[in-house]
Amino acid sequence: MSLPDFDLTGRRALVTGGGDGLGRQLTEALVDAGATVVICGRRPETLERTAAELADRGEVVPVRADVTEPADVETLATAAGAIDILVNNAGLAHRAPWPEVTSADWRWIMTLNVESPFWLFQRFVPGMVERGWGRVINVASIYGLVGGDASRYPGIGLDIASYFASKHALVGLTRFLAAQVAPNGVTVNALCPGMFPSPANDDALQPEVIAALQAGTPMGRLGTDRELRSALLFLAAPASSFVTGQSVAVDGGWTVW
């Protein structure tokens, strides 16, 4: 395998939720591989800080946009221009016991985690098809592949029904869309992280929870940012040209038990 198989020089990427957390890690991976990266989110100060901090490594373009709002999606499309690599990373979980989940809360998670990736696909992928090259990476979760075990979360449980449903839906959408554009040089895959530390779950990662998560992972540890970055880079690069419709679990073996 030669280095050019992972070279993204001249490519333009969009990472939703790319200003912090796992999104920033994915942004860094694409920048380091040579891509120009557009990042979007609802907090302009976070986006601008990330762009400034990565300026010496490559070009990062911050665009304030809420991807659950159709008008913002159109603004984002205009600002971003032609995109070669779309990373649908923005997503959240809503915690509540399943008998208490409201319709409004359910719809919010589905809009963010499932509908907005589809809207962005509609907006950016026709250009990829026309140019004959493109990569779409939907950031799903191992919880788009399995049902979960609440005992691995002592004291907090797994009361995130809409998250599980949305990530399973995103995996299904990935497979469907991959088949639609496969003849046109565009691949569509899902990246399914296992247990990775991030600012979004710092409060939940108490010592007893970390110990339970490690015990539930065959490798006996949590993942590192570089391990997720490497998987994303493969899916975004020319090297993965014959890989589409797949759910790539980066989970230390979590889903094999």
Catalytic positions: 163
Please tell me whether residue 165 adopts helix, strand or coil conformation.
helix
User: Which of 15, 14, 30 lies closest to 233 in space, CA to CA?
Assistant: 30
| DSSP label at residue 111 | I
Alpha-carbon distance of 213 to 251, in angstroms, equals 11
**Could you give the angle at the alpha carbon of 75 between the alpha carbons of 56 and 24, nearest 5°?**
35
The b/e string for 90-120 (b: 16+ C-beta within 10 A; e otherwise) is bbebbeeeeeebeeeebeebeebbbbbbbbb
